[in-house]
A and B are shown apart, each in its own frame.
Chain A
Amino acid sequence: MRKLLTGNEAIARGAYEAGVHFASAYPGTPSTEILENVGLYDEIIAEWAPNEKVALETVIGASIAGGRALAAMKHVGVNVAADPLFTFAYTGVNGGAVLISADEPGMHSSQNEQDNRNYAKFAKIPMLEPSSSQEAKDMVKIAFELSERFDTIVMIRLTTRVCHSKSMVTLEDRLTVQPKKYEKNFNKYVAVPAIGRQLRHKVEDRLNKLKIFTDETNLNMVVDNNQSKGVIVSGMAYQFAQEALGDTVNYLKLGFTHPLPKEKIDDFCQQHETVYVIEENDPYIESFAKELGHKVIGRDVFPYTGELTPDVIRRAILSQNIESLTVNEDKVVNRPPTFCSGCPHRGFFYELGKKRKKIIVAGDIGCYSLAVGQPYDMMDWLICMGAAYSTGHGAQTITDLKKDDDRRLVSVMGDSTFFHTGINSLLNTVYNGGKTINIILDNRITGMTGQQDNPGSGYKLQGDSAQIGDIKAICKALGIKHVKKINPNDLDEVKATINWALELDEMSVIITNWPCVLKKRYKEEDFETYKDMWQTQDTVLQDTCTGCKACLRSGCPSLVFDKEKGKMSIDKTTCVGCDVCLQICPFDAIVKVGETA
């Protein structure tokens, strides 16, 4: 049976067909849908982990115990997971283990652009690079075979266009793989220095074997179009190059890219007058070919950043520009992403931004990063997941040294980010006697990536009910004295609480607690806790509205200003009755529907 699948769906299918027993991930674009789709197979135990390090560590445990196990993450997630990865590369596996890294050339929704092929080289582990959904699926199965054959974790490097584009895939049955027997093996799995020194040699021996394999495997193959020009290419760039150059060149298509095939590259370069290397992100293959002494053309003509889409290749190699119609810039205005109608972050940022000049805001990764935009303009920096509390603490320490600067650091992050690594950062602040104001915007879900459950949501990946991590109790247990949990839709409460925190000369935590409007699964008690949650609507009394636009400072997309009438109105199809605008209106012109006088 053939089916149109995204690369992410194909990876999940590959895991199913490979007989995988266990999979874990932390969501992050473009990798999120891998575990969501793995979760659809009852045969696989699929879990969200609070962060990528934990995801990989559970996979390591599953592998050592004998199961086939897979971890998936976006490129920056591998930075978080790098610590266990490097040692797992030493110990090797019992059941096969695969790490998926989803890289983002062009940064469609990432904070940096990094080429995780460098990680495979750095950690000395084998790596595969699929160029289509079919290859993505097939390579998962191959990766598990290689993992068990060479006793190592195997990395599969995807890029956004492999993850999120759909192409045809032939489906096959699931292999029956029984978990292997586990036997205690001190000299393999206990990475104390004495053993680590022995394992170090094992890693080199394995690399030597893989250097032979990479030159033999047909994962690295020549596509001969009988031409004098050659292209060495990997991943999605293979499809892009074929689109742009067709059969006017020969290809050395590399699917197994760590270690790289020395002999194949030598032969290919010797047999062609001109050789281009087309690869996204870093000049990884190019540098290798140049080290071998070949005069290949790569970054000399290709841009160092972004995707190598066919137009980029055509411009670089053929000096061709495709004519296109021009966009009349007068006829388009921006459509910036914004908080949804009823988003519980809105009330908090409205109050935080109101005439508060004496604060500096340390941001983090999640929906609340949208507060960088108008009308909030509320973020001084944003580094990586979990960094708000720790960067805030560092900044407060220095600010306090200055006699002429009495500003306070307000660090903001969400519940998922708190569970990810924020919890560690917060512990650091309390331990070191910091005095930052730390906000946990608890919307009971991992919002930005598309409503994945987390330790605070009450549900597991495959839908089972879960223990809810009590954020307030955790903060208390960390030793934080001043913790308040508030309803972010109650502006008076938000204001009073921010003022309370600003007056304290010690660190505090404010937990804003109200569910994301897009959260899909609720427990019975939630409906009692969050009274009238999304059950009401607000409306503007047209006679009372003066058109002052004060309500627009809430930034809600349900509010529409009619220029001709000079009045506001509320879009009935999107309003969910959070009442934030109602509280802002200075003329009481906004009321709850049904409570109209």
Chain B
Amino acid sequence: MTQSIKLVGVGGQGTILAAKVICDALINAGYDVKMSEIHGMSQRGGSVSSEIRFGDNVFSPVIEKGKADVLIAFELMEAERAIDYLSGDGLLIVNNHKINSMVTLNGKVPYPSGIVEDLKSKVHTIVINASEQAKALGNAKVMNIMMLGALVNAYQLNNLDIEAAIEHTVKEKYIGLNKKAFNKGKEL
């Protein structure tokens, strides 16, 4: 059976790198894997998403609305924006962290409140303070890999060798820090 994971965030958060790490681990675990992303203008502060499908034999690289088994959101508002992709009995893992958009930066529109409560009322939701935890580890950027720690725990992907995937994917001098972040994520 094909399973689907969707990752969403804001340009610069490392959404695509995180997806690459999972894909590498999935391939080494013997799955057929397809990954899809739409980029272009998104790197300029826009929404970014990456989709992973894995199983015995995957056809479409694209996840349909209502069909994702897991939604990992690196930013709060992006979780809400993409929630229609998640299946009603799916799992949402969300980083409790807000990034302003041009619209909220200038104070014209407030950053919406009550997002966590709204999400929890819809679907099984795990909220993590990954950005804070990553900062405490010494680099806010490893938030993405920390979220993967939470994923393998909550979605029972412990058969994946994520540490090896980190070694294949991440720049050499950041490997140690990313492994630390991954293991921290497993505890959260």
Which residues of A are at the interface with B, using a C-beta cutoff of 8 A? Answer: 2, 4, 29-30, 108-109, 160-161, 164-168, 239-240, 242-243, 307, 309-311, 322-328, 330-340, 367, 370, 374-375, 448-450, 549, 552, 555, 557, 559-561, 563
Q: Are A309 and B59 in contact (CB under 8 A)?
A: no
CB of A355 to closest CB in B, whole Å? 20
Stretch at the interface among B63-71, B126-134, B146-154, B179-187: B63-71
Q: Which one, B42, B59, B85, B104, contacts A333 given CB within 8 A?
A: B104
Nearest CB to that of B48 among chain A residues?
A335
CB of A584 to closest CB in B, whole Å: 14
Cβ contact within 8 Å between B104 and A324: no
Measured between alpha carbons, how far is A563 from B108 in the docked complex, in Å? 10
Residue picked from B24, B34, B114, most chain A C-beta under 10 Å: B34
Nearest residue (CB) in A for B24 is A4
1/0 contact string of B37-71 vs chain A (CB within 8 Å): 11111111111000000000011111011110000
Report how far A338 CA is from B101 CA in the complex, Å. Answer: 10
B44 contact set on A, CB distance < 8 A: 337-340, 367, 370
In the bound assembly, the distance between CA atoms of A160 and B41 in angstroms comes to 14
Contact partner, B107, options A2, A450, A549, Cβ 8 Å:
A549
Q: Report chain B residues within 8 Å CB of A108.
A: 38, 40
Measured in the bound complex, the distance between the Cα atoms of B42 and A323 in whole Å is: 28
A-B contact pairs, 17 of them (CB 8 A): A161-B61, A165-B36, A166-B23, A242-B59, A243-B60, A309-B60, A322-B65, A324-B87, A325-B88, A331-B77, A331-B112, A331-B115, A334-B103, A335-B45, A337-B44, A552-B106, A563-B107
B84–A326 touching, CB < 8 Å: yes
Contact residues in A for B104 (Cβ distance below 8 Å): 333
Select A560's contact among B33, B42, B100, beta carbons within 8 Å.
B100
Judging by beta carbons under 8 Å apart, are A310 and B64 in contact? yes
**Chain B residues engaging chain A, CB cutoff 8 angstroms:** 10, 23-24, 27, 32-47, 58-62, 64-67, 77-78, 80-81, 83-88, 100-107, 109-112, 114-115, 118, 122-123
What's the dominant secondary structure at chain A's contact region?
A: loop
In the bound complex, CA of A2 to CA of B32 (Å): 11
Q: Tell me which of B34, B46, B61, B62 contacts A335 (CB under 8 A).
A: B46
A331 to B118, CA, bound (A): 8
A4 CB to nearest chain B CB (Å): 6
**Given A4-B35, A168-B32, A243-B60, A560-B40 contact (CB < 8 Å):** no
CB distance from A350 to the nearest CB of B (A): 14
A322 touches B64 (CB 8 A): yes
Q: Contact: A240 with B84, CB < 8 Å?
A: no
Give the distance in Å from the alpha carbon of A322 to the alpha carbon of B86 in the complex. Answer: 11
Residue of A nearest to B67 (CB): A322
Considering the chains assembled together, what is the distance between the CA atoms of A331 and B119 in angstroms?
10
B65 touches A324 (CB 8 A): yes
One of A29, A167, A557 near B61 (C-beta < 8 A): A167
Contact B38 A336 (CB under 8 A): no
A residues less than 8 Å from B105 (CB atoms): 552, 557, 559-561
In contact, A166 and B35 (Cβ under 8 angstroms): yes
Q: Which residues of B contact A165 (CB under 8 A)?
A: 34-37, 61-62
Which residues of chain B are within 8 angstroms of A339 by Cβ–Cβ distance?
44
User: When the two chains form their complex, are residues B46 and A336 in contact, meaning their CB atoms are under 8 A apart?
Assistant: yes
Closest 4 CB pairs of A and B: A324-B66, A109-B40, A165-B61, A243-B60
A333 touches B112 (CB 8 A): yes
Q: Do residues B38 and A160 form an inter-chain contact, with CB atoms below 8 A?
A: yes
In the bound complex, CA of A243 to CA of B110 (Å)? 41
The interface residues of chain A lying within 8 Å CB-to-CB of B10 are 335
Q: Are the C-beta atoms of B34 and A167 separated by less than 8 Å?
A: yes
For residue A311, which residues in chain B have a CB less than 8 angstroms away from its CB? Answer: 64-65
Complex Cα–Cα for A340 and B110 (A) = 22
> Closest chain A residue to B71 by CB distance?
A325
- Which residues in B have their C-beta under 8 angstroms from that of A309? 60, 62, 64
Collect the chain A residues with CB atoms within 8 Å of residue B62's CB. Answer: 161, 165, 240, 307, 309-310
Q: How far is the CA of A336 from the CA of B102 in the complex (A)?
A: 7
In the complex, the answer to whether A168 meets B27 with C-beta atoms within 8 Å is: yes
Minimum CB–CB distance from B168 to chain A (whole Å) comes to 11
Which residues does chain B contribute within 8 Å of A334, judged by CB atoms?
A: 101, 103
Task: Give the contacting residue for B33; candidates A168, A333, A337; CB below 8 A.
Answer: A168
Expressed in whole angstroms, the minimum distance between the Cβ of B7 and any Cβ of chain A is 14
Distance of A108 Cα from B111 Cα, bound (Å): 26
Residues from chain B with a CB closer than 8 A to the CB of A2 are 27
B38, B78, B102: which contacts A164 (Cβ < 8 A)? B38
CB distance from B78 to the nearest CB of A (A): 8
- In the bound assembly, the distance between CA atoms of A328 and B23 in angstroms comes to 31
User: A4-B33, A243-B59, A243-B60 are contacts. A332–B80 as well, Cβ < 8 Å?
Assistant: yes
Known: A165-B61, A332-B80, A557-B105. A4 touches B40 (CB 8 A): no
One of B43, B110, B122 near A325 (C-beta < 8 A): B122
From B37, B43, B64, residue with most partner A Cβ within 10 Å: B64
How many angstroms from the CA of A569 to the CA of B103 in the assembled complex?
Answer: 16
Partner of A327, one of B27, B47, B83, B87: B83
Extra A-B contacts (20), CB below 8 Å, given A324-B87, A333-B111: A4-B35, A109-B40, A161-B36, A165-B61, A166-B35, A168-B27, A168-B33, A243-B60, A309-B60, A324-B66, A324-B86, A324-B88, A325-B66, A331-B115, A337-B44, A338-B45, A370-B44, A448-B41, A552-B105, A552-B106
Minimum C-beta distance from B122 to chain A (A)? 5
Which residue on A lies nearest to B99, using beta carbons?
A: A335
- Which chain B residues lie closer than 8 Å to A340 at the CB level? 44-45
Known: A243-B60, A374-B102, A561-B106. A337 touches B88 (CB 8 A): no
Query: Once the chains are docked, how many angstroms separate the CA of A530 from the CA of B47?
Result: 32
Specify the chain A residue showing the minimal Cβ separation from B10. A335
Q: Contact between B84 and A325 (Cβ–Cβ < 8 Å)?
A: yes
Task: Give chain A nearest CB distance to B143 CB in angstroms.
Answer: 13
Q: Please name all residues of chain B whose beta carbon is closer than 8 Å to the beta carbon of A374 when the two chains form the complex.
A: 102
Q: A557, B23: Cβ atoms under 8 Å?
A: no
Given contacts A4-B33, A165-B62, A338-B102, contact A332 B40 (CB under 8 A): no
Q: Which residues of A contact B109 (CB under 8 A)?
A: 333
Q: Which residue of A lies closest to B140 (CB)?
A: A573
Taken together as a complex, chains A and B put the C-alpha atoms of A4 and B60 apart, in Å, by 15
**A338 vs B81: C-alpha distance in the bound complex, in angstroms?**
19
Give Cα distance in the complex from A561 to B61, angstroms: 40
Q: B81–A332 contact, CB under 8 A? A: yes
- Contact of A555 with B102 in the complex, beta carbons under 8 Å: yes
Q: Are A328 and B118 in contact (CB under 8 A)?
A: yes
- Cα(A166)–Cα(B37), bound, Å: 9
Contacts of B84 in A (CB 8 A): 324-327
Most A Cβ at <10 Å: residue of B61, B88, B114, B123: B61
A110 to chain B, nearest CB (A): 9
* Chain B residue with the shortest CB-CB distance to A32: B40
Chain A residues near B101 (CB, 8 Å)? 333-336
Contacts of B23 in A (CB 8 A): 4, 166
